[in-house]
Amino acid sequence: MKTGLIYSPIYLEHDTGSHPENAKRLEAVMAYLKKMGVLNRIGVFPPRKATVDEVALVHTKEYITSIENKAINGGGWLDMDTFLSPASFDVAMYAVGGVLTGIEKVMAGELSSAFALVRPPGHHAGISKASGFCIFNNVAVAARYALKEYKLQRVMIVDFDVHHGNGTSDIFYSDPAVLYFSTHQYPFYPGTGSISETGSGEATGNTVNIPLPAMSGDSIYNRVFEEILVPIGRRFRPQLILVSAGYDGHREDYLATMRLTVDGFVRMTATIKQLAGELCGDRMVFALEGGYATESLSECIKATLETMNGEVNIGELQVSKETDKEDADSVSIIQNARRLHGLA
């Protein structure tokens, strides 16, 4: 079994013009993957369209209908950051469906892992609200779908986008079946994701926020994943790992001020792959979130796919400290998170 890429040109039809989240992102990625021969080594599979009932596992039907009607009537702004074109409702349904397709192929054993190269992204979308370029919460719907259709008891979501996935966090804040783990620049948009937000009720401890200072880079993220994600994952014992894969933490991305390199994303992917192999039969599905500098985005996704597919020798990677801000603040955050979640 190999890694598969879920993709369709329909994702280009979500027409946002010169908005940072635009079709050129995926066009650049696919051109680069083809140029570098990656598409010859992994399978490429078309997404299916999610049904309204599937999307309603997370979102209200009233909200879904409102998005459909607004698209039918020509679209427009849903909030100050999020644009809807006439085709966007259908595209958003295929974005959800792309992640569901990945889950179906992984759970059937057709693929060991899958990367859903989709847009619009999803992790800011709430139950009845679009936000931060996101219309439907692709990964949140996928988690609920996996729990329902495959009778799973535990799903872990790892979100390494540079922005906190406030929509995903809110949706699962009191759900003990889902562990949400997020690394993000803080303070930064959307202003949520403090270390003290840990879940509620039976799910207390199942929300794990690692709010990192600006200029954090490879070595800090590597410590977070090794010292926090790995033991948290082993304690939770997920049966499936979903990843909100945002590449806007790369040092060349213009929407944030983190200092990650391609190798940093490779190490994060390798750690997730290690956990998936150890805990849930290799089952993991990545879904694209952010990443707006098309050259670095393309390089990062290529490296992610190669790592997922077992083509990268992790031992040869160097953890870059060149631009890291591994100061007292970031070290303190790691130590505090370990104590807060009973890892110290």
Residue 291 zone, left/alpha/beta (φ > 0; ψ -120 to 50; rest): left
Which DSSP letter does residue 187 get?
S
Q: Among residues 14, 59, 123, 124, which one is catalytic?
A: 124
d(Cα 318, Cα 199) in Å, to the nearest integer? 35
d(Cα 262, Cα 277) in Å, to the nearest integer? 22
Give 137's contacts (C-beta < 8 A, 6+ positions apart).
Answer: 58, 59, 122, 123, 124, 125, 126, 167, 168, 171
CA-wise closest residue to 215 among 281, 279, 259 = 259
Q: Residue 37: how many CA atoms within 13 Å on its side-chain side?
A: 1
Q: Is there a catalytic annotation at residue 19?
A: no
Please state, as a whole number, how many other Cβ atoms lie within 10 Å of the Cβ of residue 271: 21
**Which backbone phi and psi does 13 adopt, to 5 degrees?**
-85, -10
Q: Where are the alpha helices (DSSP H) in the chain?
A: 24-35, 52-55, 61-72, 88-107, 138-149, 166-172, 218-224, 230-236, 262-279, 294-308, 328-340
CA-wise closest residue to 294 among 95, 68, 29 = 29
Give 23's contacts (C-beta < 8 A, 6+ positions apart).
Answer: 11, 12, 13, 14, 15, 16, 119
For residues 252 and 295, is the Cβ–Cβ distance under 8 A? Answer: yes
- The amino acid present at 216, given as its one-letter code, is S
Where do the DSSP E strands lie in 130-199? Answer: 155-159, 178-185
For residues 174 and 201, is the Cβ–Cβ distance under 8 A? Answer: yes
Q: Which residues are catalytic?
A: 124
